[in-house]
């Protein structure tokens, strides 16, 4: 499904991440993969990719750093590297933006969460624009739930994910004429490093256990990664501005079983 595709997978840091699961799935489907990691995570990311067992470049890249992004793009252009698709697997919120009273969070913490989790999607879109393959490119981001609900946990990250949904649609609008698609995957709760930073994360997994009609394995990112690969493939060539749920059907249920 991805034979000959050159893909960028961002946000690689740990074995349990959706990014790492996507690297594995993409390789199995025939893609050539390049990865980026936040600079402080570079050694950990390289160790994770080494376990995958393939020769994959892992570049340090902070998408919130405009100068670093410009340098990275220029280097890739100089190498003649083109990008058929990319996964945006980048999100962060200070703990204060995730816990406590929603209305009491400092503006600085919200700004960090928004800049990292939403604005970087537009930055990656610009990278796709600069490095796109002749037949276009596909950009995929990661959402959670997407049901328009206020959770007992998540707080400002929930607000950021709502903003990410709108950002994806605007990217689809602006870059579609250039053959660049923009879609999101709304995943159920997964036990990743990002999840470990969410206070009382069990509230989410407990909700899925009682409500999702299909069994949901919070320790298995493979179903999400496989859907990402579909959206990165030519099978999804007429899909943009969409959000696909990979959540065991949770989003379609009104109440717990």
Specify the DSSP element, H or E, that contains 160.
helix 155-175
CATH topology of domain 6-245: Rossmann fold (3.40.50)
Domain boundaries, the chain: 6-245
φ/ψ (deg, to 5) at 230: -60, -45
What integer pLDDT is reported at residue 44 of this predicted model? Answer: 94
Burial of 250 (0-12, 13-18, 19+ CB in 10 A): buried
Map tokens 């009682």 to a residue.
Answer: 210
pLDDT band at 196 (very low <50, low <70, confident <90, very high): low
In tens, the pLDDT along 142-178 reads: 998 867 788 888 899 999 999 999 999 999 999 999 9
Total-model pTM: 0.94
Distance CA 176, CA 73 (A): 21
Q: Taking the CA of residue 123 as centre, how many other CA atoms within 13 Å lie in the half-sphere pointing to its CB? A: 23
Mean confidence (pLDDT) of the chain: 94
154 is catalytic: yes
Question: Going by C-beta distance under 8 Å and a sequence separation of 6 or more, which residues neighbour residue 45?
Answer: 12, 13, 35, 37, 58
The predicted model gives 100-113 an average pLDDT of 94
Looking at residue 25, its pLDDT comes to 97
Proportion of the chain above pLDDT 70, given as a percent:
97
pLDDT in tens, 244-255: 999 999 999 988
pLDDT at 6: 97
Does the pLDDT value for residue 197 go beyond 70? no
* Selected catalytic residue, list 5, 121, 135, 161: 161
Q: In this structure, how many other beta carbons lie within 10 angstroms of the beta carbon of residue 207?
A: 19
What are the counts of helices (DSSP H) followed by strands (DSSP E) for the chain?
Answer: 10, 7
137-148 confidence digits (pLDDT tens): 999 999 988 677
Average pLDDT over residues 171-191: 96
pLDDT at site 153: 81
Taking only Cα atoms into account, the Rg of the chain, rounded to an integer number of angstroms, comes to 17
pLDDT in tens, 31-77: 999 999 999 999 999 999 999 877 899 999 999 999 999 999 999 99
Least confident among 48-62, 184-198, 199-213:
184-198
């Amino acid at each position: 499904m991805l034979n000959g595709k050159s893909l960028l997978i961002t946000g690689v840091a740990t074995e349990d991440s959706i990014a790492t699961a996507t690297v594995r799935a993409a390789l199995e489907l025939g893609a050539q993969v390049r990865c980026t990691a936040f600079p402080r995570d570079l050694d950990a990311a390289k160790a994770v990719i080494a376990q995958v067992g393939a020769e994959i470049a892992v570049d340090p890249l902070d998408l919130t750093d405009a100068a670093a992004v410009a340098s990275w793009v220029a280097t890739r252009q100089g190498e003649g590297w083109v990008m058929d698709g990319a996964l945006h697997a980048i999100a962060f919120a200070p703990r204060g933006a995730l816990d406590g009273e929603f209305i009491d969070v400092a503006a600085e913490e919200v700004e960090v969460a928004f800049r990292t989790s939403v604005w970087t999607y537009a930055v990656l879109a610009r990278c796709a624009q600069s490095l796109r393959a002749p037949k276009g490119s596909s950009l995929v981001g990661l959402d959670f739930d997407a049901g328009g609900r206020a959770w007992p946990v998540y707080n400002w990250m929930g607000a950021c994910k709502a903003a990410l949904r709108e950002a994806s649609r605007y990217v689809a609008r602006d870059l579609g004429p250039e053959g660049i698609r923009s879609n999101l995957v709304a995943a159920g709760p997964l036990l990743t490093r990002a999840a470990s930073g969410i206070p009382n994360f069990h509230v989410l997994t407990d909700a899925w256990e009682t409500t999702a009609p299909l069994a949901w394995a919070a320790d298995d990112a493979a179903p999400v990664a496989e859907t990402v690969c579909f959206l990165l493939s030519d099978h999804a060539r007429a899909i943009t501005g969409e959000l696909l749920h990979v959540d065991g059907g949770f989003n379609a249920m009104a109440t717990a079983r």
